[in-house]
Amino acid sequence: MTIKLQQELIVTSDKTIDARRANVEICNGDGITIQFAKNVINHGHQIHHIIPAKGGKIKDGENHHGLRGDSDGDGVSLFGATNVWLNHLSLHHSTDGLIDVIQGSTTVTISNLHFTDHNDVMLFGASDSYSADKEMHVTVALNHFGKGLVERMPRCRSAS
């Protein structure tokens, strides 16, 4: 299944996106945004060739309607999100970052992901002056960093 998002897919609290036992690609359109949501699992699909999209009217909850600005082309964007697990995803070729974890997002696990062919892989905290970004808790484990990656990856320290 190939999904081309015309606008960001805004994931609300207590949701699971599960593509196990299926071949699901989110590509050639906008990416996934988890904004001020908690308890989200995103599992088992490919995210690639993500491009910025125009904003517009949104409904992101039972009683909330509003206007959304243009997106910047992140594969997965966490903005003020809590208790998020990104697992078994494959990401490459986004206009901006593959994964951004910003604006006080915390208790985030990024595990078993496969990253290739991109410049800005992961961003944790976008502003030194935003105090909530200094308190974030992010676990990055068992990921594969493949060919064509340039920056924003974990660095290994050699044993002394």
Which alpha helices (H) appear in 31-153, and where do they start and end?
A: none
For the chain, give the longest Cα–Cα distance: 56
Task: Give the span between the Cα atoms of 22 and 137, in whole angstroms.
Answer: 31
Look-up of token digits 């988890």: 34
- What whole-number distance in Å separates Cα of residue 78 and Cα of residue 128? 17
Q: CA 75 to CA 30: how far, in whole Å?
A: 8
Q: Which residues contact 158 (CB under 8 A, 6 or more apart)?
A: none
Residues involved in catalysis: 152
Query: Which two structure tokens, joined as six digits, stand for 139?
Result: 């676990």
Q: For residue 150, what is the enclosing H or E element?
A: strand 149-151
